[in-house]
Structure 1
Amino acid sequence: MMNKTLLSLAIVIGLVGCNSSSSDNDDTFDLRILHINDHHSKLDATGPVALTLGGVKTEVEIGGFPRLVTKFNELQNDSTLRLHAGDAITGTMFYSLFREELPDALMMNQVCFDAFALGNHEFDDGNEQLAHFIETLKNGEDACGTEVLAANIEVPSTNPIYGIYDPYKVFDVAGQQVGVIGIDISSKTQASSSPSADTEFFDEVETSQRYIDILKEQGVDKIVLLTHYMYSNDIAMAKQLTDVDVIVGGDSHSLLADSELHTEIGFGTTDGEYPTVVQNADGNDVCIVQAWENALVLGELNVSFNEQGNVTQCSGTPHLLLGDEFINPSEDSEGVHTDEELDAINQYIASKNELSSVEKDTVTAEKLAFYSDQVDEKMKEIIGYSVALLCNERTPGSNHSSGALCVEGSEEREFMNQHGSIMANVVSEAFVDMSIRSDIAIQNSGGVRTTIAEGDVSVGHAFNVLPFSNYLVNLDMTGQEIVNTIEDAIDNVVVNDSSGAFPAAANLRFDVDMNAEKGQRITDVQARRKLEDGTFGEWHDIELTEIYVVVTNDFIAAGGDRYDSFVPVYEDDSRREDTGLLYTDSLINYIKKLEDNGETLDRPDVSEMSVQSFIALN
């Protein structure tokens, strides 16, 4: 029998990697956990973001690792664990352009996490690349002893990640033993990422209880699950387990915070309270937390334990990390706030525990700038070639300026007048290829901003086509819901003259009559499914009662551009999968994949276009 990671049940008791301290044992114990999750290679700040602070409309940067490091260090005390709940990599140019150097690992080592749980996106590029990431995190520049945890993942000794992660670790925190168990979301990792075939995944709840019991047998009575398993799953799991005290989670990108505050500032939609407290199977409290996404929030959880190791109290703050430079968005202000406005902004921030104006850590900022400067330079990198002029359009025949290279009377313009945007169809093909589980892709034409000319294609070209920071989501939809969604989008074009709502798609095709009534504008709807080997099945009349997996961007998935029929599916956690794939990055990786396979970008055949025939509005 092969040796496997899970067969080693010996507890390794070590000092907390970056925060070790010791004290005499007391009857009670106060633990502080500082945590993030799902930063998805978003290492720099977001924004400037439009906010309303103290009644003043302003714009300010939010988050980024240089600010995270400052806040982690500010909140550190002698009884602290620093935890990351997974999905560190994939999602921005900091990963896609630096798979060898891995600035994610460097930035994580500036924080100096005690433990990091593997998430599904850690497996996006396979186990060999994951092994490289773990080795860089643990042994690369500024490495500080971060433990990598995954209790419900098992690999044989021949696998690249064998022996470089553990199911759990026991940390000495101020003289107290705290067990931390890592849990990954198994089905999602297997279905939507690329773990090697010899990677086995086990049930999250059963595995958690198994290792809790092992820790209890060894006398460890303060137990933290570090999970990448979704907020709703964490809640359900906590109620089934005995002896669990804390769950620090990720995967669902849940903002747990004061809903009134976020409504007031106009940024973020909350999913629950921070912390969320439920009772485990013993009837004891479990503190559940998550810290949103993209290095925007640092979670601070404070937990008190009694002498039996049960939670007696938990409280905390999700710190939204604001910059300290505020921009006046008014047209006549030249970006400058009055002294009175700045006073109102700063007084408001000071009155809210959840808001912090945070200076960037200088060392971290300098290390990140080394890569940021290269990202700017690498925008010039050639990643592929196009053998055709990939014209862009919104509604067929509208002659939108984004397709200006495709002049009236040209073959490309005539093609678009009948079949819609060539570029939007190529983007849709990229999405359905990159999102492993999807059958169909749907994209709003307004999200595709320009044409790609014949010739070399650079990273910058891809960014010009898709300049926004949207993410891809997979939605499990019936054929009827898909038809309804396309009808919604076209209705927005007809009723509201919103040309950018016009849909493009891959593996979905139909005829359009803009003059028909809503519900009858598209006919002869056909679809294809993705086969297990990644190829596609035969075209068939869409099956209205059957389920298809649709990949789309999170803007229209949430109802943007009046894609209304997406909304109930998107809001149903059981039918939505947040892939974590940045849609610009997905287009870049698709073009690179073609290049690696000796292929080029080209205009799709008519049979591959979503619009097969088009009757314009009279």
Structure 2
Amino acid sequence: MKQTYAKLFSGAVLAGLLMLASCQSSYRLTRIDGSMITIDSVWDTHPDADAAALLAPYKAKVDSMMYRVVGTSEMTMDRGVPESLLSNLVADVLRNSAVQVLGKSADMGLMNMGGLRNILSEGKITCGNIYEILPFENSLCVLTVKGSVLKELFASIAIRMGEGVSGVRLEITKEGELLNGTIHGKPVDDDKLYTVATIDYLAEGNDGMNPLAKAEKRDCPPGLTLRSLFMDYVEQQTKAGKKITSRMEGRITIK
């Protein structure tokens, strides 16, 4: 156990020595020795018995939560551009979750591919699976934007060769240029106001979604994390006797 701690905190010890040497003129650093340590399954071969006993009750509690089955996936869903089963599903969940803010679904749902960190495998869905897919504390944000800004958003999505979208259809080129964009099957009106349900990270204009920073209005209610919204969706579908499913619909096509 002592050896493990010594190796894990060697960097902190070294930093402390350097600080000591710089702050105390009576000390002089004469030599630094170090080596690379591979952190892999070898460390689990001979676990420290005392540490394992100490952590056992906490591990049991976490496992009981993470291995709880909350639903069933009809198919394996992965992420990918220009669209994918998983990104379509999460964007739909976001758009429909806006009912908690607007009293109805948003005009558009938007989720970045980078925010989806694992696949949803066919079969049982556990809490742990959902945490693996959505590990970040991203929260729902419902934005109101002008049609002219929505067009800019479409162009930003085209540059990235696609993101998770719901409620819209985009046609883009292989070079990442926007050819056409519609919302609910209709052209975008520059002066009309539209609502976009997304996550707070994107609402701030991050990950290339700069136009969202131009929103006329934003509503980001506390406590509505994307992970909890997705969890609620899975549990509601399960109570209704339904499996979790998704479809490729040509939401973003490359011409």
TM-score calculated relative to the size of structure 2: 0.71
For 1:485 and 1:568, how far apart are their aligned partners in 2? 10
Task: Write the mapping of 1:8-47 to structure 2, written as runs, cut at 5 A.
Answer: none
Q: Which amino acid aligns with 2:207?
A: D
Cα contact 2:110–2:197 (8 A) shared by 1: yes
Q: Say whether 1:553 aligns with 2:193.
A: no
Q: 1:332 to 1:380 in 2, by over 3 A?
A: closer
Alpha-carbon distance, 1:443 to partner? 1.0
Structure 1 residues 486 and 375: alpha-carbon distance in aligned structure 2, compared to 1, 3 A threshold = farther
Matches of 1:480 and 1:474, distance apart in 2: 17
Cα separation, partners in 2 of 1:614 and 1:334, compared to 1, 3 Å: same
> Please, which of 476, 479, 484 is the counterpart of residue 147 of structure 2?
479
Query: Separation in 2 of the partners of 1:453 and 1:586?
Result: 19
| 1:377 Cα deviation after fit | 2.5
Cα distance in 2 for partners of 1:486, 1:425 equals 16
Letter in 2 for 1:515: E
1:610 alignment partner in structure 2? 251
Q: Does 1:592 align with 2:235?
A: yes
- Partner secondary structure for residue 464 of structure 1: helix
Instruction: Give me the whole-angstrom Cα distance separating, in 2, the residues matched to 1:335 and 1:593.
Output: 47
In the TM superposition, residue 545 of structure 1 has moved relative to its aligned partner by: 2.1
- Report what 1:459 is aligned to: 127
Residue 108 of structure 2 aligns with an amino acid whose one-letter code is I
8 Å contact 2:74–2:122 — kept in the other structure? yes
CA distance in 2 between counterparts of 1:509 and 1:341 reads: 57
Q: What is aligned with 1:377? A: 64
Aligned partners of 1:389 and 1:603 also within 8 Å: no
Measured after TM superposition, the shift of residue 455 of structure 1 is 0.7
Q: Name which of structure 1's ranges 554-563 and 375-384 shifts more when overlaid on structure 2.
A: 375-384
How many corresponding residue pairs? 206
Give the CA deviation at 1:566.
0.8
Flag the structure with higher helix content. 2
1:425 aligns with 2:88: yes
Counterpart code for 1:579: P
Matches within 5 A, 1:274-353: 333-336=10-13, 337-338=15-16, 341=19
Secondary structure of 2:89's match? helix
Matched, 1:468 2:111: no
Equivalent positions of 1:143-292 (< 5 A) are none
Contact persistence 1:479–1:547 (CA under 8 A): yes
1:25-45 CA-to-partner distances (Å, cap 9, x unmatched) read xxxxxxxxxxxxxxxxxxxxx
The answer as to 2:225 corresponding to 1:582 is: yes
Task: State the distance in 1 between where 2:136 and 2:64 align.
Answer: 19
Please state if 1:564 is matched with 2:195: no
Matched, 1:522 2:162: no
Flag the structure with higher strand content.
1
CA distance in 2: counterparts of 1:424 and 1:487, whole angstroms: 18
- 2:251 partner amino acid: S
Q: Are the counterparts in 2 of residues 450 and 464 from structure 1 also a CA contact under 8 Å?
A: yes
Matched, 1:392 2:60: no
Q: Matches of 2:60 and 2:242 in 1, distance apart?
A: 30
Q: Residues 474 and 578 of structure 1 are in contact (CA less than 8 Å); yes or no, is this contact kept in structure 2? A: yes
Q: Percent identity between the aligned chains? A: 19
Q: Larger Rg: 1 or 2? A: 1
Residue segments in structure 1 that go unaligned for 5+ positions in a row: 1-330, 345-369, 397-419, 495-501, 529-538
Q: Is the aligned partner of 1:488 residue 2:182?
A: no
Q: Which amino acid aligns with 1:474?
A: V
1:592 Cα offset (Å): 1.1
Closer/same/farther in 2, CA of residues 600 and 484 from structure 1, 3 Å limit: same
What do residues 202-251 of structure 1 show as CA deviations (whole Å, max 9, x unaligned)? xxxxxxxxxxxxxxxxxxxxxxxxxxxxxxxxxxxxxxxxxxxxxxxxxx
Q: Counterpart of 2:169?
A: 509
How far apart, in 1, do the equivalents of 2:131 and 2:192 lie? Answer: 36
Q: 1:542 to 1:595 in 2, by over 3 A?
A: farther
Deviation for aligned residue 1:371: 9.2
Q: Normalising by structure 1, what TM-score? A: 0.31
2:5 is matched with which residue? none
Q: Relative CO higher for 1 or 2, CA cutoff 8 Å, sep ≥ 6? A: 2
CA 1:525 to 1:489, structure 2 compared with 1: closer, same or farther past 3 Å?
closer
In structure 1, how many angstroms separate the alpha carbons of the residues matched to 2:94 and 2:10? 41
Instruction: State the 1:480 CA deviation.
Output: 2.4
